[in-house]
Amino acid sequence: FSPHRSVLAFSIMSIISSFGIFWFFQIIQKILAVPIKAGLICILGLLLILNFVYFIHMYTVNFPFEKSQNMHYPYKQIALFVWSKYDQFDRIIVDPIYGQSAPVRAVAAHYYLAYYGEYPPAKFQKDLRIEKSGMSFDKFSIREINWSKDQFLQNTLIIASPWSIPIDSIDKNRIIKRFDFYDRQPAFYAIAL
The pLDDT tens digits of the residues spanning 140-171 come to 999 998 888 888 888 999 999 888 888 888 88
The pLDDT tens digits of the residues spanning 14-61 come to 899 889 888 887 887 777 766 777 777 788 889 989 999 998 888 887
Burial pattern 15-29, b for ≥16 Cβ within 10 A else e, equals eeeeeeeeeeeeeee
> Is 72:182 a contact under the CB 8 Å cutoff?
no
How many helices (H) and strands (E) would you count in the chain? 7, 9
Give the integer Cα–Cα distance in Å for 66 and 127: 36
Note the pTM of the prediction, 2 decimals: 0.68
